[in-house]
Chain A
Amino acid sequence: MRKYLNIITAYSIMMILIILVGIFQSWSIALSILNYCLISAVMTMGANIQWGYAGLINFGIMGYTALGGLAVVLVSVAPVPEAWSAGGFNMITSLILILGIVLIVNYILKKYKNLKYKNYLIALVIVFGIILIRVVASPGIEAIEAVNPAKTGFLGGLGMPILFSWIVGGLFAAGLAFLVGKIALGLRADYLAIATLLIAEIVVSIIKHEDWLARGVKNVIGLKRPVPYEINLQTSPWFINLVEKLNQGKLNLISSVSEKKDILNQLVIDASSVYVKLCMTGLFLTVVIILLILTQKALYSPWGRKMRAIRDNEEAAGAMGKNVVKEHLLIFILGSAIVGLAGAMMVTNDGLFTPGSYRPMRYTFVIWVMVIVGGTGNNFGAILGGFAVWFLWVEAGPIALFLINFFTAHLDEANALKVHLIESAPYFRFLMIGVGLLVIMRYRPKGLIPEKINTKKI
């Protein structure tokens, strides 16, 4: 029990903080933060599997998150038949062309292993292929993007339930991770970090600029939801009754009927938003718990031990006949798939897909801070890191504002420095996150909840 004490303490503090937000700001904000904390926790678990279990640096979190989000659009949005009839044929032909190129390149690699000009031949095939694809695809793209550009202008999705997209998001990310892993996993740690970062940029720039796919920077809004809509709740009698019942005491104090009605209305509106978020919380919590159970099981399984052996001494593990390359690829795919799942969860939570918002700062580096702060190699730590850092990220602005006001209280309201600082309050979050990271790395290099692998008997 004792060894879990600091975990319990840390989580309790985190919960208290969120509850405090609920009391002082609003329950809706508190739940939004909680939901994002849960999503961050999933991302962090994904990154932690790669870094903590296997020592692989994946700075491409952003790319996998975006792919997960793309999956939501492609799975859940209703198809746009006009777009399909306008340019579907061209796009499918292009897809076949891409497959063809891949097959030809593969064939060349296999058949002409010893050919001197192999690489030039492949380059030629690829360049020629790209030109061909452009010729085939551009009229199709133009036609698709011309279909009601203000609302659609893309092929749309499959119109399937949105929860299904979470799995697809994971699969998308896994597919990308397979490719990236094949290319980059042999690289030295810091090269891998740079390579994954750049590949993620490529992925995001494709999602951003291929409008026919998911409207690019024009965003897809009004995605389906796995939970009820506020507006429906507000007109459901059972919900109104529930709210009335819960607030009986408060409502009884008001005598005027019309006033009572107004207040009840307001309460219903507030409660509906809280209810919706609670439903989301339930879903996310389920995912987190399932993942936690699976990852913990994996960590203490023979496979987990093997992974740690490889991480701690790659050469020795390799010499003992462990297939380091294969295991690294597997773990890279697994971790990325979890990140993809998180990306899908996030877009589901937001109800919109905004490719322009995928920036490395927010979706790669902040996640990495979560991993480092939480404690590498420890799933409880990873989740805590996700919670703590996300909480700081959101609440840093208000905290900074409070501190600025506190320290400049003696200054005049119109004081230039004070005004400037107050305007800059949102940027203090970078400062806090950065200083936090540096302090943790220096004084608690194993994170808030360190890996405690030896204390548990396997």
Chain B
Amino acid sequence: MSFFEGNKMTAGYGNGPDIINSCTIKVDRGEIVAILGPNGAGKSTAMKAMLGLLNLKSGSVVIDGQEISKLSPQDRVKKGISFVPQTKNVFAELTVRENLEVGAFLREDDVNKVIEEIYNLFPILKEKSSQVVGQLSGGQRQQVALGRALMIKPSILMLDEPTAGVSPIVMDELFQHIIKVKETNVGIIMVEQNAKQALSISNRGYVLVTGENKFEGSGDELLNDPEVRRSFLGG
């Protein structure tokens, strides 16, 4: 039994066809799990289903032994599940500090302490704290997005393609930040296109094909599995 589990989830958008089919994703605290697969495999959908952005037709989502399949996304956020969407994941017209403050709206206690912690994690944000996020670089924006998601002190952090559209150098930097976050005892699920790099920092990985679990295993196992290599890692 893992800390956060999506068990045998089946779901689709509206009345459309099922995008994911009996798909299972599990993550523990202090662990990075990568969800990989070809385009249209339902990676993001699986993640959104776990957050409650679309309703399950069957299956369940469980955190810390507690069933949350029926909760709204907001209520799941309150349970400690934070989400960074792929696009539009910051408030571009607000300052860095305001972004962090909004991220903590669900918290009752003093946010200044948490903001200091985030600043320690991402020093650049402290430097730019009163700048409007829209004026920051792509990598800095992603840090704001991470910081905002961490403001509720989540136990689970879900990242939808955090490195999409950033340069390789920034990507490495971001992965380093993600590892730092993991070390604060947060469980991380991320959907990634850059499979090799993602697996290299992940404890485990899932490969989805047409909405179903195809392979799973530790990062090294998947990296060395010839079939996975051939099909998804480009040889």
Task: Verify whether A and B have any Cβ pair under 8 Å.
Answer: no
